[in-house]
Amino acid sequence: MVKAFCLDELRNNFRNQAGCNRKKLFEKKENEIKFVFNRMSFNKIGCNKSINRSEKNGFTPEEHFKAAENIKEYFENAVVLAQSYIYKKGRAGTYYLCCCKIAERKYAWMPVVTWGNDEGYIDFYLSKDGE
């Protein structure tokens, strides 16, 4: 288990490295996915739940954050495997499950939720399976 102060350092390094994506439009026209990368996306990617999911799949927190630095590239190359409609906290939205193969037995999974006009967020975790 990684100590909390190490996770904070990893989160801060990730924010610095991936900061160039902040307020950038992430878009997949063929699936009509469109949202602005925002603070909620940073928080989702760096939350314990996402890190633990990557760890459960055999990756370290360091690997999780290092891979997440390339999230825009992975999103652009991802395949949308599922789409559904959700209603949460008084807001209707669309949920997409995207996956991109990074390397042999290394996949980036990116759940995306969008609503309204270019609003939404992206989450991220690593897995050794592409399905």
**HEC string of the chain?**
CCCHHHHHHHHHHHHHHHHHHCCCEEEEHHHCEEEECCHHHHHHHHCHHHHHHHHHCCCCHHHHHHHHCCHHHHHHHCEEEEEEEEEECCEEEEEEEEEEEEECCEEEEEEEEEECCCEEEECCEEECCCC
State how many domains the chain has.
1
What is the per-residue pLDDT across 26-81, written as a single tens digit (0 to 9) for each?
Answer: 999 999 999 999 999 999 999 999 999 999 999 999 999 999 999 999 999 999 99
Per-residue pLDDT of 73-120, as tens digits, reads 999 999 999 999 999 888 999 999 999 999 999 999 999 999 988 999
Domain residue limits at 33: 4-127
Separation CA 104–CA 119 (nearest Å): 33
pLDDT of amino acid 88: 85
Task: Round to whole Å and give the CA distance between 75 and 98.
Answer: 7
